[in-house]
Structures are given as C-alpha cells and as structure tokens.
Structure 1
Amino acid sequence: MNEAASHIPPGAQLLGREWLGFDESGRSLIRFQAQPAFTNRHGTIQGGFLAAMLDSATGICALAALSSGLTVVTSSLDTRFLKPAAVGPITARARIVEQTDREIVVQADLVDASGITVADATARLRVLAKR
C-alpha cells in the first residue's frame, strides 16, 4: 500500500501519517508525527489526537485487507490511554482480529520513540462498497 501525498486525507496529513508496511508478524505499521500543537496543559499529547491516530491506523489496516472496490467506516473505537505521550514520532501497530463480509475488527497500539505503548484500541469497522 503506497500513499502518495495527494491521496492522504487532510486529517491524516495533519497527523503526519506515513504507511510503513507490515512487520514480520503481519501487523500493519503506520507512523504519525505528534506535533507541539497537539499537547495539553501537561505538555503531553492530548488524548483526542491519540484516538485519531488509532482510528486512522485501524482503518488503514482494514483497507489493506480489502479489494479496491471496498472501503470501511469506523462504527466503534474502544480506546485506552496507558502512558503520557510526548511530541515526536508515534508508531501504530495494527492487526485484524476478526473479519466477515460486513465487518472487520482491528486491534492497534501506539508506541512512542522509546518503545513504550502509550495507548491502544479495538475498532469495529463496517465494510462498504465504494461510491
């Protein structure tokens, strides 16, 4: 899956999303760039930005498993914030845990530059035909 800059949605561009491919266990790897503008009053990345990264990563993971005529929309995103996240690169590791013709369930975690898992999520995505 190759994302040309012109095909990355504006929200994903804001998050600095970059598709890295798959790791040895088949997980999708997606890197984000957490910006200083994403910080809260504590100087760490605000949870909404982390949730947006998880939403983006789970969607991209699901899309990588589908034919080009199909797409997905998130119907639920159960997110846990585990540790404070700092400004800088954050890598999502996502994998499909369940798939039918109508729904895909993806689990993902976000890992900071030090290798610490800062958040994770389980997403349920509805499979739709592209318009």
Structure 2
Amino acid sequence: MNDAATHLPPGAQLLGREWLGFDASGHALIRFQAQSAFTNRHGTIQGGFLAAMLDSATGICALAALTPELTAVTKSLDTRFLKPARVGAITAKARVTERTDRDMIVQAELVDAEGITVADATARLRIVARR
C-alpha cells in the first residue's frame, strides 16, 4: 500500500475519509462521513460533496495501485447522481479498470448505510512522477 493513500490532506479530513482496504473482489473501500453541514435545501447531501468523495475515492484507489515514486492527477470525472444521499457514513467502492504507462481509468460508486448506491463516477487520471 502506497503511504500517500493513507495521508489525509485537509479536503479528505473535511470529508471524513477513512481508508478501509480492499474487499474480496479487489475493490478499494473508502468510508466518508457526510455531515449535516453538507446538506442542501432538501436536507440531502449536496452533489458537490458527493463528487468530491468520488474524486477522492478514485484518486486514492489509483495511488494504492502505484509505486511510491508515482502519483496520479484527475483529468476528468464523469459523475452520476442516482439517489438522494443522507447524513452519515457513505462507503466508496473503487477499482482500476484500465491502465497504461501514462493514464488510468478508475470507476467508483458511493453506497449509503442501507446499501443503496447514491452516486457513481468514472475518473480518467494522468500518472506522473512525484516531485
């Protein structure tokens, strides 16, 4: 596991990100804590926070697949909002679906405490050397 995958920058701290490891099917599991401060006028989690969770999950999944001298930056994040998300724990399941020397595609979904998929995304990332 890449050390950078467990480092918590301020944005990850805000989202309550917690690395859980890999499940039996090889998906990276990352838990987030959706706070009441993240809600919109409907009382559900605002889509921008869900997109941030998906971006964080796909990025951390990519880092877990790379050697320590490499990192990845998001080029695009195609996000779909499927169901309203509530305050509380939201778990991301992410996996690398394609990889070349320079690029990686990672897919992720966000699942609420009741097992409902609330959003998903496909991220295209560029692999670069760490500075």
Whole-Å separation in 1 of the counterparts to 2:40 and 2:2 = 32
Is the CA contact 2:15–2:34 (under 8 Å) kept in the aligned structure 1?
Answer: yes
TM-score by length of 2: 0.96
Alignment of 1:65-76 (within 5 A): 65-76=65-76
Aligned partner of 1:27 in structure 2 is 27
The alpha-carbon deviation at position 97 of structure 1 amounts to: 0.5
The runs of 5 or more residues in structure 1 that have no matched partner are none
Aligned partner of 1:37 in structure 2 is 37
Deviations 1:88-121 (A, max 9, x none): 0000000010000100100000000000000000
SS in structure 2 opposite 1:60?
A: helix
The one-letter code matched in structure 1 to 2:56 is S
The alpha-carbon deviation at position 80 of structure 1 amounts to: 0.1
Is the CA contact 1:32–1:53 (under 8 Å) kept in the aligned structure 2?
Answer: yes
Displacement over 4 Å in runs of 4+: none
SS in structure 1 opposite 2:43?
A: coil
CA RMSD after TM alignment: 1.5
Whole-Å separation in 1 of the counterparts to 2:39 and 2:84 = 10
SS in structure 1 opposite 2:33?
A: strand
Alignment of 1:49-88 (within 5 A): 49-88=49-88
SS in structure 2 opposite 1:107?
A: strand
TM-score by length of 1: 0.96
The alpha-carbon deviation at position 7 of structure 1 amounts to: 3.0
Deviations 1:13-67 (A, max 9, x none): 0000000000000000000000000000000000000000000000000000000
The one-letter code matched in structure 2 to 1:9 is P
Corresponding position: 1:122 with 2:122: yes
Aligned partner of 2:16 in structure 1 is 16
Identity of aligned residues (%): 80
The one-letter code matched in structure 2 to 1:44 is T
Corresponding position: 1:110 with 2:104: no
Deviations 1:61-91 (A, max 9, x none): 0000000000000000000000000000000
Whole-Å separation in 2 of the counterparts to 1:114 and 1:23 = 18
